[in-house]
């Protein structure tokens, strides 16, 4: 494939490295003025990997948009702006692959909805989701991920084209459920970090089982398959999000309750706003998400909020 990766952060740069490794013709795009992109152009490396000379680097979006397949890995809250820029270039007949997890904070829109609502209908969209950290992939540690799309033939083509010794792909069967599940796991990651910061790590088992159930209920209410919450998009990503030292959402939650600064992107911070709005819209109770929201945005005392969460009225397990 001739493809472009948009996004020069750690994940986007890894994707360019990985897809080049599979034999694809890869261009990596980053914004002009980006310190990360400037380092790549000067040194062809970041803190995790060295890019081969074969990977073309550009800061011109029109050049990036020439590829037949565009893989995007940026902050989810910046996706609408990027789509507007691509729409202004009148791109058509492209494959857009979203390798990112989140919901639009102000509207609750899924990322595929943003693409479909902005670009013309000749473009096709897929999502690339699941567990994995750049640090582990670069060390040769493999993982399994999922490709999903409303276009059955597209997800099969991409899963075959993107599979390698580091990543085994599964086909998703529920685009809505996979997008919601993937976004929501970052909120569970923040909650897990808060438990770590309060020396309540033993409650992560309860957090994981209850978190999966509340996300499954939301997926079902929105018209998806609740079993998606138990797949790679959500429960299957818990090890990488709830426990890993590389998880930015977990580390953010831990730093927040300790009153420490944390400056890296934690997508769950924005996603929890969208999930609380979806909770009200669909009439689905999301106690964990609501507790995290109260701590982050309503100045609720973290220990008090989490104590209240785990001391709620007795219920049958999995009800």
Write out pLDDT tens, residues 135-160: 999 999 999 999 999 999 999 999 99
- Intervals of CATH 3.40.50.720 along the chain: 2-171
- Segments in the chain below pLDDT 70: 312-319
Burial letters 203-226, b for 16+ CB under 10 A, else e:
bbeebbebbbbbbbbbbbebebbb
**Torsion, Cα of 113, 114, 117, 118 (10° steps):** -150
What pTM does this model have?
0.94
CATH code: domain 2-171 is: 3.40.50.720
Residue 281 has a pLDDT of 96
CATH topology assigned to domain 175-310: 1.10.1040
State residue 106's pLDDT score.
86
CA-closest candidate to residue 190, choices 205, 204, 206: 204
94, 101, 155, 185: the active-site residue: 185
319 is catalytic: no
Question: In the chain, which segments carry CATH 1.10.1040.10?
Answer: 175-310
pLDDT of res. 314: 53
What is the distance between the alpha carbons of residues 129 and 98, in angstroms, rounded to a whole number? 8
């Amino acid at each position: 494939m001739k493809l472009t990766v948009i996004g020069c952060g750690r994940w986007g740069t890894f994707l360019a490295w990985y897809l080049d490794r599979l034999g694809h013709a890869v261009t990596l795009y980053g914004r002009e003025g980006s310190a990360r992109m400037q380092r790549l152009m000067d040194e062809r490396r970041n803190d995790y990997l060295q890019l081969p000379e074969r990977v073309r680097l550009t800061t011109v979006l029109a050049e990036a948009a020439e590829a037949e397949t565009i893989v995007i890995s940026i902050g989810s809250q910046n996706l609408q702006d990027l789509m507007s820029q691509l729409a202004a270039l009148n791109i058509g007949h492209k494959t857009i692959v979203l390798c990112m997890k989140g919901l639009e904070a102000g509207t609750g829109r899924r990322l595929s909805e943003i693409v479909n609502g902005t670009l013309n209908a000749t473009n096709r969209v897929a999502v690339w989701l699941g567990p994995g950290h750049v640090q582990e992939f670069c060390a040769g540690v493999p993982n399994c991920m999922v490709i999903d799309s409303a276009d059955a033939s597209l997800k099969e083509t991409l899963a075959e084209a993107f599979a390698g010794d580091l990543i085994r792909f599964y086909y998703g069967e529920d685009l809505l459920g996979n997008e919601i599940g993937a976004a929501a796991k970052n909120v569970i990651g923040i909650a897990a970090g808060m438990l770590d910061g309060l020396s309540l790590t033993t409650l992560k088992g309860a957090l994981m089982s209850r978190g999966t159930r509340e996300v499954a209920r939301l997926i079902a209410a929105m018209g998806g398959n609740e079993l998606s919450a138990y797949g790679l998009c959500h429960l299957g990503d818990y090890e990488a999000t709830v426990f890993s030292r590389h998880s930015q959402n977990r580390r953010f939650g831990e730093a927040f309750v300790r009153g420490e600064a944390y400056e890296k992107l934690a997508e769950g911070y924005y996603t929890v706003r969208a999930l609380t709005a979806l909770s009200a819209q669909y009439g689905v109770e999301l106690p964990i998400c609501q507790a995290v929201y109260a701590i982050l945005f309503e100045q609720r005392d973290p220990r008090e909020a989490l104590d209240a969460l785990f001391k709620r009225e007795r219920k049958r397990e999995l009800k």
